């Protein structure tokens, strides 16, 4: 893979006028608007809100720490939003942001997000009957996986 000035070079095999784009389908790119179509559910997975924080979810249902008693219900709720979002795309690789402007300024917030999501992702991945794999990643990995699935684009 070659990078030019930190930009990924995309080459169309057909040398056509196709352009690869990606959209964020909901209102904004903050956590309440990225996991799926229902911000009052997605906001519950923004672990900065409501937990010893000055900000809370505008929809009145704040996040709660993930534990053994609630992990199945919380995982199902989050995965339902992921599946609904996935219906908007013609791929099985889904990009879901876990942050926005001025997030993760403090280690406590990053730790809280990571620890709760790590529990959720581990549980979801252990449920082989759910037929899904979720992971922490970077936008770069999303595009690599997307290009692997799409025969039109490749990275040179």
Res 156 pLDDT > 60:
no
Burial 104-117 (b: 16+ CB within 10 A, else e): eeeeebeebbeebb
- Do residues 31 and 97 touch, judged by C-beta distance below 8 A? yes
Q: Quote the pLDDT of residue 153.
A: 46
pLDDT digits (tens, 9 = 90+) for 12-71: 555 555 556 666 777 777 888 889 999 999 999 999 876 656 677 888 888 999 999 999
Q: Quote the pLDDT of residue 97.
A: 85
CB-based contacts of 151: which residues, under 8 Å, 6+ apart? 13
pLDDT digits (tens, 9 = 90+) for 67-117: 999 999 999 999 999 999 999 887 788 888 888 888 888 898 899 999 999
* Token pair 């996935």 in the structure block, residue: 86
Whether the full predicted model's pTM is greater than 0.75, yes or no, is yes
Q: Quote the pLDDT of residue 41.
A: 94
CA distance 141 to 21: 15
Residues in the chain: 156
**Looking at per-residue confidence, does 129 or 155 come out higher?**
129
Average pLDDT rounded to a whole number, residues 120-140: 93
Q: Quote the pLDDT of residue 4.
A: 41
Q: Quote the pLDDT of residue 25.
A: 74
């Amino acid at each position: 893979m070659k990078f030019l000035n930190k930009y990924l070079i995309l080459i169309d095999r057909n040398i056509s006028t196709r352009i690869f784009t990606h959209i964020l389908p909901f209102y904004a790119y903050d956590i309440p608007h990225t996991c799926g179509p229902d911000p009052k559910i997605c906001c519950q997975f923004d672990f900065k809100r409501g937990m010893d924080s000055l900000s809370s979810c505008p929809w009145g249902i704040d996040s709660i720490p993930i534990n053994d008693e609630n992990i199945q219900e919380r995982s199902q709720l989050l995965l339902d939003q992921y599946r609904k979002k996935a219906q908007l795309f013609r791929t099985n690789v889904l990009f879901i942001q876990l942050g926005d402007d001025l997030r993760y300024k403090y280690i406590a917030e990053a730790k809280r997000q990571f620890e709760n999501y790590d529990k959720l992702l581990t549980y979801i991945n252990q449920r082989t009957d759910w037929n899904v794999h979720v992971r922490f990643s970077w936008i770069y990995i999303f595009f690599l996986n997307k290009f692997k699935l799409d025969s039109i684009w490749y990275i040179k």
